[in-house]
Structures are given as C-alpha cells and as structure tokens.
C-alpha cells in the first residue's frame, strides 16, 4: 500500500479532489484518517448479514478503491450477493477494478464510473454511503437520499457514515482536537494536517447528528438509528 505523504510537500492552495494522486495513496489515507475504519466495515457486515436476503444487490456509493465492497464480498460469500461500487472519480474506479481482479472477485463485484446523483435503479437490498455524503453539495443531499430510499426494496437498508459537527462549540472544538490527536498518532505532522484541512475546507461539509437524522427521515426512512460513534464520526442504519 503506497504511503499518503501528499501534504508533506504540497504547499499549493488547490481544493482537495479525488484525482489519480489521491487514488494512489487512498487506502493508506483512509486507514490513517478515518477512526475505526475497519470496525465500521466489520459492523456493516454484521448488519448486512442480519438484514439482507439471498442474491440481494448491494451498492456502495462513493466506493473509492473498492476496499469496503471487496471485504464485504469476502465476509458475505454464502449469501450469493451481487455487489456494485459507484464513484465519479475515474482514477478510483480504475484502481477498484484492478483490485477486484487481483482478488479474483470480478464476477461478483463490479465497479461503475458514475455520479451518484444520477442513479436510476430499483430493488436494491442495501446502499452503503460511507464518508461520501459529506462531499455532496448540501443542497443536493435531500434529493439524493430520497432517491436512494425509492431505489431500495421494502425492508432494504442504507448504512451512512459521516464526519459530524456539534452545535455546542466547546464539544465541537474538543472533538476536533481529539481527531487531530488521532491523526498525529497515525504519523501525520502538524503541517500536513493543516494543509489537508485547508484543502478540504470548501469540499467536505459535515452536518450535525440531528441534521443527518432529520434528512434521512424526510427522505422516507421510518427507522434511523446511529450504530457507531467515535467523537466526530458516526454511522447510521436507516431501514425502509
């Protein structure tokens, strides 16, 4: 796995984008930037085991290099599920397809370069929307989640993981500080952390826990429950 040192040298002021340089180091970036990344995949696998039916279609929205889907395909072999990863970054999709081939999973796991705002699909068993909604323009999120609700079969589920903000400024500040400590513990320097934060400033826009829950309820989901939280990161299960 290539090491993420993108922000060691980079002093440019460009906004963050999921280009080929990011795709190249992305697996390392996720593992060192998203607290409990692996645990959330493990928990998602438990949820899917409980809620999915045999031969269900599982779609990962903003699948990046396909790590989550390839892990799930391994864990959930017995259910004969069909997996599709969707991402609008060509570099990510190319890498994901290569990994599927390397792991011999290309028959069960497919990848498509597409904008998740343009989906038109029915009878989906589960959507995964992990750390992706935060990159969708806030004004598009309600329409997107409502469309995803319509695309699920009755009883289908959506797993949503997001970075979140808090309306209490002391809690918000403290939880951001705890997150910065986590990144330092993963080997990122102060300057790398600052540069990346600046690059993400207008690109990653987190909602609060309440805003996310309200949006998912308005989209149609009758059940929305958080199943995981690490300070300013949380994962929800929404059931149709």
Question: What is the nearest approach in angstroms of ligand SAM to the Cβ of residue 158?
Answer: 13
Q: Which residues pair with 174 in a beta bridge?
A: none
Q: Which residue's CB comes closest to ligand SAM? A: 62
Question: What is the nearest approach in angstroms of ligand SAM to the Cβ of residue 91?
Answer: 9
Question: What is the nearest approach in angstroms of ligand SAM to the Cβ of residue 170?
Answer: 27
Q: Is 80 left (phi over 0), alpha (psi -120 to 50) or beta?
A: left
Question: What is the nearest approach in angstroms of ligand SAM to the Cβ of residue 118?
Answer: 8
Interface ranges with ligand SAM (CB under 6 A) = 18, 30, 62-64, 67-68, 86-89, 92, 115-117, 130-132, 135-136
The smaller minimum CB distance to ligand SAM, of residues 2 and 171, is found at 2
- Rounded Cα gap, residues 76 and 48, in angstroms: 8
Question: What is the nearest approach in angstroms of ligand SAM to the Cβ of residue 31?
Answer: 10
The smaller minimum CB distance to ligand SAM, of residues 67 and 240, is found at 67
Token pair in block for residue 193: 């952390």
Residue 227's alpha-carbon distances to 4, 32, 87, 107, in angstroms, are: 29, 22, 25, 31
The smaller minimum CB distance to ligand SAM, of residues 154 and 237, is found at 237
The smaller minimum CB distance to ligand SAM, of residues 62 and 156, is found at 62
- Rounded Cα gap, residues 162 and 93, in angstroms: 21
CB atoms under 10 Å from CB of 142, counted, come to 14
13 half-sphere exposure, CB direction, 13 A CA radius: 0
At 140, which helix (H) or strand (E)?
helix 138-151
Token pair in block for residue 178: 């705890």
The smaller minimum CB distance to ligand SAM, of residues 176 and 200, is found at 200
């Amino acid at each position: 796995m290539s090491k993420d040192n993108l922000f060691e040298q980079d002093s440019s002021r460009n906004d963050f984008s999921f280009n080929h340089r990011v795709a190249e180091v992305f697996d390392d970036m996720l593992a060192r930037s998203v607290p409990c990344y692996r645990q959330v995949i493990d928990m998602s696998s438990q949820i899917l085991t409980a809620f999915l039916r045999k031969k269900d279609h599982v779609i990962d929205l903003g699948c990046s290099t396909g790590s989550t889907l390839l892990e799930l395909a391994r864990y959930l072999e017995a259910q004969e599920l069909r997996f599709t990863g969707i991402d609008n970054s060509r570099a990510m999709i190319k890498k994901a397809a290569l990994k599927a081939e390397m792991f011999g999973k290309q028959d069960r796991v497919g990848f498509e370069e597409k904008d998740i705002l343009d989906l038109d699909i029915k009878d989906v068993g589960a959507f995964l929307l992990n750390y992706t909604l935060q990159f969708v323009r806030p004004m598009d999120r309600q329409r997107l989640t409502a469309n995803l609700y319509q695309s699920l079969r009755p009883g289908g589920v959506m797993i949503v993981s997001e970075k979140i903000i808090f309306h209490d400024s002391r809690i918000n500040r403290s939880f951001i500080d705890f997150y910065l400590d986590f990144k330092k513990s993963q080997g990122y320097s102060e300057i790398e952390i600052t540069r990346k934060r600046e690059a993400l400033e207008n690109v990653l826009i987190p909602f609060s826990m309440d805003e996310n829950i309200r949006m998912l309820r308005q989209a149609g989901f009758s059940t929305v429950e958080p199943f995981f939280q690490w300070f300013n990161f949380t994962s929800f299960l929404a059931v149709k």
